[in-house]
Amino acid sequence: MVGLVIVSHSRALANALANLVKQGSSSNISVAISARVGNDRQEFGTDAVEISEAIQSVLGIMTVGGGPTSHSAILARALGIPTVSSVSQELARAPLGSLIALDGFNGTI
């Protein structure tokens, strides 16, 4: 099971964040990355197939940015994964391993 999925238009930023999460976590958290498009992952954008593969093993999704029409939200809806978009940055900074109740039907955390 994936503990964290990072979706970004910047592969370098996604890799740096993944490394930071792994260094700062006391547990062995699994991280999946979906960033950039194209054969060499240098083109701007996100890959819907890569995101779909990354999120298939998660129980719920919360995003700091985006909204109901973002790639992550559309794919999550199609896969039946509860999702809440545009949560506060303070909530997103909760310590790794924190128990968070996510209500994807009402859009609340």
Digitized pLDDT (tens) for each residue of the chain, 109 residues in all: 557 788 888 888 888 888 887 787 766 777 888 887 777 777 777 778 888 887 777 778 888 777 888 877 888 888 888 888 888 777 767 776 677 788 877 888 8
Question: What CA–CA distance (Å, rounded) separates 84 from 64?
Answer: 9
- For 38, left (φ over 0), alpha (ψ -120 to 50), or beta? left
Both tokens assigned to 48: 């819907």
Q: Which residues of 93-108 are buried (b: 16+ CB within 10 A; e: fewer)?
A: eeeeeeeeebebeeee
The pLDDT of residue 2: 55
